[in-house]
Structure 1
Amino acid sequence: MTGAAAMRVEPDDVASDWTRPGVFEVAAGAYRIPLPLPHDGLRSVNVYALTGDDGLVLIDSGWAITEARQALDAALAALGAGLGDVRRFLVTHVHRDHYTMAVAVRREFGTAVSLGEGEEPAIGVLSTPGSRPMSGYWQALVRCGAGKIVEALRARADLAPHDPADWAAPDDWLAGGTDVVLPTRTLRVVATPGHTRGHVVFIDRDAQLMFAGDHVLPHITPSIGFEAVDTALPLGDYLDSLRLVRSLPDQRLLPAHGPVGPSVHTRVDELLHHHAERLDHACKVVQDGATAYEAARRLTWTRRQRSFTDLDPFNQMLAVAETAAHLDMLVAQGRLKVTDADGVFRYDAA
C-alpha cells in the first residue's frame, strides 16, 4: 500500500498546515484524516475516524476519487485497520466531498451509510437516471439576472458528467434530536439546515466535541443557496441553525475544512456578526431595481476582498447564489422588496 508504512498517528497541531496528509489524534479514540480535493479551492476535507473494539466509524467520507481513496487507505493502515473495518459512515451533508466516497466504499464492503433526513429530496434528484441537476442552477441564475455566466458553467458541467450511482440513497436517514449509540460513545444528531437543507452535526457531549461538517468553519463561511433542490430562505435557515448551536453547551470545533478549534461558540459569534454586516452591505448596494447578479458585482468576495470579476465562473455562480440568499433575507426582514420582471427578480428599497 503506497505511503502506508511512512504514515503514523500524530498529535493534532493546530499551528501546522491542516491540509497536510496524515492521521492526527484530536481526542481519545478520535482521529482527523485530511483527504485531498485536488480540483477544489478548499484543498482538503477532514474525515474523522472513531475507533472501537468492533471496528471504525467515519464521520464524512471524502470525494470518491483515486487520490482520496489512496490517502484514506494509508491513514487507516496507520490505525491498524482498512476500509473493510469501517462499520458505518455518518455523513454531515450530501455534497460530493462528504458523501460519494461512502457510497463507493459501500459497493465494495457493504458498509452502512447514514445521512440527515433533510437530504432526501436532494438525493431523489441526484440519484435519478438521466437527471441533469445543474439545469436547476441555470434556471436560478437566469432568475438572478446572471445569464451571462451560464454558458461558461455549462461547458464546465459537460467536462464533469453526472453519475446518478454516486448519489444512491443511504441505508438510513438521521433525524435531528436523536442519538447514534456507538460502543465507545454516543453522538447527538443536531439538524443544522442552511448550507444544505439536510445538514447535520454530531455532538459527543461526554468528550465535548462537535463534528461540525460545513456548518461551522474556522476560516470561511459556507456557501448558501447552492443546492439541487431550492429552499425558500436558506440564509434564514442557516442563521437559525447557528443560533441553535450557540444555545447548546460549548464544544471543541472539529470542522470539515480547516484546523480544529477550541470553541464552537466563539466562531458562531463571528459568523453571526459577519452575516449581519453582509446583510447591511447587500442592502446598501441595491438600487434602481438591481438583480442579484448586479448586486454581487458591487460586493467584494473572500477574506481578500476580491472583486467579482476576479472570480472564476463557478465561484461567480456561488457568489450570485449567496447574494440572492442575502437579498431574499432582506425581503423577509422588510428592508427590501422584490418584483418579478419577466422571470428576472429585481430588488429595491422597501
Structure 2
Amino acid sequence: MLNRWEDIVEVPLPLPFALKEIKAYLFMGENGVTIVDTGLNIEQDFTVWESAMKELGLTWGDLDKIVLTHYHPDHYGLAGRMQQLAGGIPVYISQVDFQQAQLFWDRDSKMAQDLASAFRRHGLDESVVKQIPEHLASFIPWIEPHPNPTFLRAGSKIQLGDRTYKVIHTPGHADGHLSFYDSEREWLIGGDFLLPRITPNISMWPNCDKNPLQSYLKTLEKMKSLPVKRVFSSHGPIFENYQERIEQIRSHHEGRLKRMQDFVEMEGRVSATEVCDHVFGKDLSIHNIRFALSETLAHLEYLRNNQQLEVERAGKRYFYVPFR
C-alpha cells in the first residue's frame, strides 16, 4: 500500500529477516522522479517497485536519480539493478559507505574472516564463529550488481524531486550515513539515523569506526537543535516527535551502558560474549548474534574509551572495571 505526503510517496518493501520491512521513498517532480533507498535485490522487492510505478503511472525512464542513505543491504541492494534499468542514471551515496559496501559485500573481501576472528577473540563459541563467513556471503546476491556511484558530500545540496535538500552526515548506524533536510518544510529524510519504535543498531565492525557509539551520541547531540516537524524513517511509521525521540534513544543508550558496566563489575572479568548473553539472551539466530555482539562491543568500547572499563588482551579479550 502506497502512502503519500505531498510530493513524497512511501513504498514499503518486504525483508526476509527480523525487520520485516523497509520504507523506501519516491520523490515526484516535474522533471524527474528520485528514489531514496531501494530494498534488496530480491524478486519480492522488485515486484513491489514495478507495481508501485505502474500505480503511479511511471516507467524506469522517468527516474532521474537514486539516492542511498547508507550501504546496508536493505537500503543499497537494488540500486545497481535499478540503475541499469533506468539507463545508467546517477546513484548517489557517501564515499565512505560505498567503500564499506565493497568491504562487506565484495566477493574478494576478507571481512568475513576478520569478523570471525574478532568474534572468536571476544569469546564467541567456535560452532557459531564458523557460521559467520557463510552468513555474510548469503547477502551478496541481494546486493549485486553494485551500482556505479556518484559521491555525495555532507553540507552539499541535492534535488529530490522538485525540492532542494541539505545533505547531513549522521554517522553511528553506518560510518557514512546521510540524512536529507528540507529547511522550508522542516522535513527530515532520516534513513536509519532515527527510528520511531526501535533503536538503530550501533555496531562495532573490523576496519570501521573504532568508537561508533560515541559517533552516534555526537550525531544525536548535533541533530537535536535542528527544527524538524516530520521524520521520514526507514523502519516504522513517519513521525513528528523528533526531539522527544532523540532524548528517548539517548536515554536508552545510557541505560544500556550502565547495565553492561554493572554486569562487568559484578562478574569481575568477562568476555564481550558473556555481556551480550546477559543483555540480549542466548537463544539468537546467527543473524541476530552478529548484530547483538557487535552492538555489545560498541558499548563496551565506548566505556573503555571513557576509562570506565579496561581490557585484558592476552589471547582472548576480557573486560573488567579498573581499580580506583
Per the normalisation by structure 2, the TM-score is 0.92
Distance 1:59 1:228 in 2: 28
Q: Could you tell me which residue of structure 2 aligns to residue 78 of structure 1? A: 55
2:270 maps to amino acid: A
Tell me if the contact between 1:122 and 1:229 (Cα under 8 Å) persists in the aligned partners: no
Q: Do the aligned partners of residues 126 and 297 (structure 1) sit closer, same or farther apart at CA in structure 2, a change above 3 Å counting?
A: closer
Is 1:327 matched up with 2:306? no
- The structural deviation recorded for 1:88 is 0.7
Q: Using the TM superposition, name which of 74-83 and 131-140 deviates more.
A: 131-140
Deviations 1:171-223 (A, max 9, x none): 31111111113562111111011111011111111122111111111111122
Gaps of 5+ in 2: none
Q: Could you tell me which residue of structure 1 aligns to residue 274 of structure 2? A: 294
Tell me if the contact between 2:132 and 2:286 (Cα under 8 Å) persists in the aligned partners: yes
Q: Do the aligned partners of residues 165 and 67 (structure 1) sit closer, same or farther apart at CA in structure 2, a change above 3 Å counting?
A: closer
Tell me if the contact between 1:106 and 1:113 (Cα under 8 Å) persists in the aligned partners: yes
Deviations 1:83-111 (A, max 9, x none): 33111111000011101211111122212
Distance 2:132 2:268 in 1: 28
1:82 maps to amino acid: T
Distance 1:199 1:53 in 2: 28
1:77 maps to amino acid: K
Q: Could you tell me which residue of structure 1 aligns to residue 77 of structure 2? A: 100
Q: Could you tell me which residue of structure 1 aligns to residue 95 of structure 2? A: 117
Q: Could you tell me which residue of structure 2 aligns to residue 340 of structure 1? A: 313
Distance 1:235 1:333 in 2: 12
Q: Do the aligned partners of residues 111 and 269 (structure 1) sit closer, same or farther apart at CA in structure 2, a change above 3 Å counting?
A: same
Tell me if the contact between 1:134 and 1:228 (Cα under 8 Å) persists in the aligned partners: no
Distance 2:269 2:64 in 1: 54
Q: Could you tell me which residue of structure 2 aligns to residue 247 of structure 1? A: 225
Distance 1:127 1:274 in 2: 31
Tell me if the contact between 2:187 and 2:231 (Cα under 8 Å) persists in the aligned partners: yes
Q: Do the aligned partners of residues 324 and 167 (structure 1) sit closer, same or farther apart at CA in structure 2, a change above 3 Å counting?
A: farther
Distance 1:40 1:83 in 2: 28
Q: Could you tell me which residue of structure 1 aligns to residue 177 of structure 2? A: 199
Per the normalisation by structure 1, the TM-score is 0.85
Q: Do the aligned partners of residues 330 and 340 (structure 1) sit closer, same or farther apart at CA in structure 2, a change above 3 Å counting?
A: same
- The structural deviation recorded for 1:128 is 4.3
RMSD: 2.0
Deviations 1:126-172 (A, max 9, x none): 464522432222122122211432123345446x2635972635431
Aligned-partner SS, 1:260: coil
Deviations 1:7-40 (A, max 9, x none): xxxxxxxxxxxxxxx1101x21111110111x21
Distance 2:68 2:206 in 1: 17
Distance 1:32 1:175 in 2: 25
Tell me if the contact between 1:121 and 1:229 (Cα under 8 Å) persists in the aligned partners: no
Tell me if the contact between 1:127 and 1:169 (Cα under 8 Å) persists in the aligned partners: no
Tell me if the contact between 1:292 and 1:323 (Cα under 8 Å) persists in the aligned partners: yes
- The structural deviation recorded for 1:228 is 6.6
Aligned length: 318
Q: Could you tell me which residue of structure 2 aligns to residue 35 of structure 1? A: 13
1:349 maps to amino acid: V
Aligned ranges for residues 120-159 of structure 1 at < 5 Å? 120-126=98-104, 128-148=106-126, 149-157=128-136
Distance 2:143 2:38 in 1: 16
Q: Could you tell me which residue of structure 2 aligns to residue 223 of structure 1? A: 201
Tell me if the contact between 1:127 and 1:164 (Cα under 8 Å) persists in the aligned partners: no
Of 249, 267, 272, 2:245 maps to 267
Tell me if the contact between 1:233 and 1:325 (Cα under 8 Å) persists in the aligned partners: yes
Q: Could you tell me which residue of structure 1 aligns to residue 35 of structure 2? A: 58
Q: Do the aligned partners of residues 312 and 171 (structure 1) sit closer, same or farther apart at CA in structure 2, a change above 3 Å counting?
A: closer
Tell me if the contact between 1:59 and 1:91 (Cα under 8 Å) persists in the aligned partners: yes
Aligned-partner SS, 1:254: strand
Is 1:349 matched up with 2:286? no
Q: Could you tell me which residue of structure 2 aligns to residue 236 of structure 1? A: 214
Tell me if the contact between 1:126 and 1:228 (Cα under 8 Å) persists in the aligned partners: no
Gaps of 5+ in 1: 1-21, 302-307
Tell me if the contact between 1:60 and 1:91 (Cα under 8 Å) persists in the aligned partners: yes
1:312 maps to amino acid: S
User: Percent same amino acid at aligned positions?
Assistant: 27
2:132 maps to amino acid: L
